Amino acid sequence: MNLVGQLAPYETEVAGAPNAEFTVAPPSVEDAARILDLACERGLRVLTWGGGTHQGYGYGVDPDVVLSTHRLDRLIDWSPDDLVAVVEAGVKVSTLEERLAEKGQSAILSEIPGGATVGGSIAAGISGWRRLRYGPIRDRILEATVATGDGRVIRAGGRVVKNATGYDIPRLMTGSLGSLGVIGSVALKLWPVALHAATVTVEDPTLALATAYRPIAVLETNSASAVYLSGTDEALDEQIASLDGTRADGHLWPDPLDHNTVLVMRVPSRHTAAAVTQVEDSWDFCAAHGVGEIRIGSNTASSDDANRLRQWAEAHNGALVVERLADDLRSGFDPWGTPPATAGLQRRVKDAFDPVGVCNPGKLPGGV
Amino acid sequence: MTLTAELVDLLGTARVLDHPLRRHVYGKDGGVTRGDVELVCLPDTTSEVVEIVRIARRHGLPVIPRGAGTGLAGGAVPLGPAVMIVLTRMDRIEDVDVESKTAWVGPGVINLELSQHTHRHGLHYAPDPSSQSTCTVGGNVATNAGGLHCLAEGTTVAHVLAVEMVTADGEVVTLGGEAPDPIGLDLRAVAVGSEGTLGVVTRVLVRLTENAPASQTLLLAFDDIENAAATVSAIISEGIVPGALEMMDRVTVEAVENYVHAGFPTEAAAVLLAEIVGTSAGVAAEANRVASIARANGAIDVEIASSPAQAALWWKGRKSAFGAVAQAAPDYYLHDTVVPRTKLVEVLRAVYAIGRKYDLLMMNVFHAGDGNLHPLMAYDSAQPGVLDRVHAAAEEIVRASIAAGGALSGEHGIGIEKRDLMGLTFGPVDLDAQARLREAFDPEQVFNPGKVLPEGSRCFDYGRPPVGAEA
């Protein structure tokens, strides 16, 4: 059978995805592996597509095949007493979190996810604002089932909250931007949601970070700084009394940045306040104190501006990455900046999973 | 030059051990397997490690990194002629960054000493295996060590931001970094828990955790292990994640009580110790909630520590469990498997049955909140054939855990102990992917050959396998 015939059962349409010769949606991870196997045979470039919310990272891929995960949409298993959920990659973050909230649990994914999927959030390594308290998303991926670039289905990790069995492939998949394969499903470590939550507006985020005991987040935006707390009523009252701020009930997260260009500065957390001073007054930003992530949105930034920010970040042992880039910044500004010294090793690791190079080829730093 | 001459040239005679008796000491770790060591090197610097790796390779010998040797899975036991690199002298705590809450440390730093060192800054290093007063941070990185506080804090991998590693080519690479999410693949995550098979870790950037302003310990006693397990589930489903949640069974409680007189109720079938941490008012409120959950689940005794000294004594009791075993028998085998929390009772019952079947004294003291079981079999190695029974029982416990949806190891690692059981949980294609990943770092198996992955894991030839290929 020819390729068109072989891919016909998977044909689909995906709004917002780039044009490609084939746009397909496998209904299972085995089908995803079959598609990747065909791609290997024909030397096709495959771009994996979740919700399309974080496709702006890294070098562009001109795909022959767009592989959408939207048919991988099942909640496979959820054991509330074990705080573990097994979920397919194409499930929307919002759908999953709504479901988990029925029993007071959360996978601590993005607070305002838009159309993002679970698999896409993992592939892009999106940790959300609550990282200060709950750690990065990679620490919640217990098990991963993946269709690797060479068309095989592998499973790594396990459905238990603690595991020292073999190499940590689930964490390796986190932030790999689809360069190793297609994530089919994952087991996620869940957290119980505390009964009470508060947002406390403060003057000085650095001081607040030093004062509060392990807050959920300390965020600074153009307009205000706030400490996010959770816990028992007693614990909240005690913490708020020490903070000298204005209390609001619940967690009031900042609006997502909807600018043409969204850049993310990542620096050692002690440099967060200094990084904020590098942001032009006319841009919007949200800085996560204690984490070292500063998200910056602008409709007017030039490639010179972006390069200046990157220079500052790299000089402070950090990086500046692109989440979304206006067309006029595409020349004169590299999406990654200085590639890591380990690019050669990264290439060999990619080859171990994707020897032919069909999965998002060239997307990672150093063109890996 | 001979291997010894080259190494002596580099390190001097005092830091190259080739006397049979001294080498004998390094032939074993905390587990039960023994191997033969060709030569032991004690480097002081990363560049010495680079040179040792190069010299060993020139002489065609593999390299085995070792920390304090407290590992329980034989991860640091050589399976054939090898050069051992013992990293305990590289024990410098470099600058502690109080504001970012990180520190670069040598792999030889003792786990507990790191927390003691950072105490003045109100910080500690969260992973706290029971061996924390002797084990090293480098060894913890190798095994992705856990401890009592993993339930709330995660294992070593969540507390290591970067490692400096000497590769098989003798290159020095830094995996991970100070800033969140360094660009590119997260190779740091692969290095942690790799059991010395990918390179020699020569520096570690650790994440430090704030000391809690307040803490409270509860002792909850049950006349039925089922009620104890139900309490564990109920605490967590009520939205409380205690700092630690540990269970001891009757045999353990009796042994510990004889040994440290912690005031444990020896008539109980199971004792739970729960540690609540946070701000003082929050801790008090949560401790009361935990106490009422325990009562609602049939606890026969609920005590809240009346003083920090009492709490410390209870925890000393918990941490002395392995020492207390000596009353029962001179040797013990400490196991490590993980099961879903909801399967604890079912698997514990199976563990007791296995103990009876092989006529072994089975003690259980474990991280209940994580579902991380540590069945301990006490025995006397002078008894003929006893080790065979211990090994057979150990394998049956693994099988029972896997059957319940669990994993081979929660925090000790695979090493040599569980290498040949990997096939119980992973298929040939899964193992092949792991073997390829290892090959990407160390194609010639210079580091710790024969560990973690069973022989034949690399089941396909280079390149893409034919569709439908079988192992």
Residue A185, CA distances (Å) to A12, A144, A303 in order: 20, 6, 38
Query: Which tokens belong to A241?
Result: 């009394």
Domains and CATH numbers, chain B: 3-86 (3.30.43.10), 93-210 (3.30.465.10), 214-322 (3.30.70.2190), 329-403 (3.30.70.2740)
Cross-chain Cβ contact B158/A156 below 8 Å: no
pTM: 0.96
A 249-288 residues with CB < 8 A to B: 266-270
Indicate the residue of B340, B414, B440 with minimum beta-carbon distance to A159. Answer: B340
Residue A258 pLDDT: 95
pLDDT at B264 over 50: yes
pLDDT at B37 over 80: yes
- Mean pLDDT of the region A264-270: 98
Instruction: State the smallest CA–CA distance between residue A17 and chain B in angstroms.
Output: 24
Instruction: State the smallest CA–CA distance between residue B409 and chain A in angstroms.
Output: 5
Instruction: State the smallest CA–CA distance between residue A336 and chain B in angstroms.
Output: 7
Cα separation, B395 vs B335, in Å, equals: 10
Instruction: State the smallest CA–CA distance between residue B348 and chain A in angstroms.
Output: 16
Cα separation, B150 vs B242, in Å, equals: 10
Cross-chain Cβ contact B179/A153 below 8 Å: no
Cα separation, B338 vs B221, in Å, equals: 23
- High-pLDDT (> 70) share of chain A, %: 100
Instruction: State the smallest CA–CA distance between residue A210 and chain B in angstroms.
Output: 9
Cα separation, A28 vs A31, in Å, equals: 5
Residue B441 pLDDT: 98
Of A207-211, B19-23, B206-210, give the lowest mean pLDDT range: B19-23
- High-pLDDT (> 70) share of chain B, %: 97
A 285-314 residues with CB < 8 A to B: 291-293, 313
Residue B467 pLDDT: 42
Residue B460 pLDDT: 57
- Mean pLDDT of the region A165-183: 97
ipTM of model: 0.97
Residue B470 pLDDT: 41
Cross-chain Cβ contact A269/B192 below 8 Å: no
Second-level CATH architecture of A75-192: 2-Layer Sandwich (3.30)
CA angle A261, A267, A268 (to 5 degrees): 160
Cα separation, B185 vs B124, in Å, equals: 28
Indicate the residue of A192, A292, A343 with minimum beta-carbon distance to B236. Answer: A192
Query: Does A227 touch chain B if contact means CB atoms closer than 8 Å?
Result: no
Indicate where chain A has its CATH 3.30.465.10 domain(s): 75-192
A 160-179 residues with CB < 8 A to B: 160-169, 171-172, 174-176, 179
- Mean pLDDT of the region B135-145: 98
A 52-71 residues with CB < 8 A to B: none
Indicate the residue of B185, B237, B286 with minimum beta-carbon distance to A176. Answer: B185
Indicate the residue of B157, B173, B180 with minimum beta-carbon distance to A171. Answer: B157
Task: Assign B469 a pLDDT band (cuts: 50, 70, 90).
Answer: very low
A 144-163 residues with CB < 8 A to B: 148, 150-156, 158-163
Question: For residue B142, which of B86, B81, B62, B67 has the smallest C-alpha distance?
Answer: B67
pLDDT at A5 over 60: yes
Ordered alpha helix ranges (H), B59-206:
111-118, 137-143, 150-153, 187-191
Q: Which residue of A has its CA nearest to B372?
A: A162
Residue B236 pLDDT: 86
- For residues A275, A278, A280 and A286, what is the CA-based torsion angle, rounded to 10 degrees? 0
Indicate the residue of A167, A351, A355 with minimum beta-carbon distance to B434. Answer: A167
Question: For residue B338, which of B146, B193, B98 has the smallest C-alpha distance?
Answer: B146
CA atoms within 13 A on the CB side of B345: 13
- The predicted-structure confidence for A147-173, as pLDDT tens digits, reads as follows 999 999 999 999 999 999 999 999 999
pLDDT at A256 over 50: yes
- The predicted-structure confidence for B426-453, as pLDDT tens digits, reads as follows 999 999 999 999 999 999 999 999 999 9
Instruction: State the smallest CA–CA distance between residue A16 and chain B in angstroms.
Output: 26
Chain B residues closer than 8 Å to A191 by CB: 241
Instruction: State the smallest CA–CA distance between residue A347 and chain B in angstroms.
Output: 9
Cα separation, A288 vs A282, in Å, equals: 19
Task: Assign B34 a pLDDT band (cuts: 50, 70, 90).
Answer: confident
- The predicted-structure confidence for B172-204, as pLDDT tens digits, reads as follows 999 999 999 999 999 999 999 999 999 999 999
Cross-chain Cβ contact B212/A213 below 8 Å: yes
Q: Other CB atoms closer than 10 Å to residue A332's CB: what's the count?
A: 11
Query: Which tokens belong to B224?
Result: 């039925």
Indicate the residue of A40, A165, A346 with minimum beta-carbon distance to B409. Answer: A165
Residue B322 pLDDT: 82
pLDDT at B207 over 80: yes
> Which amino acid, one-letter code, is at B317?
G
Of A155-169, B289-303, B313-327, give the lowest mean pLDDT range: B313-327
> Which amino acid, one-letter code, is at B470?
E
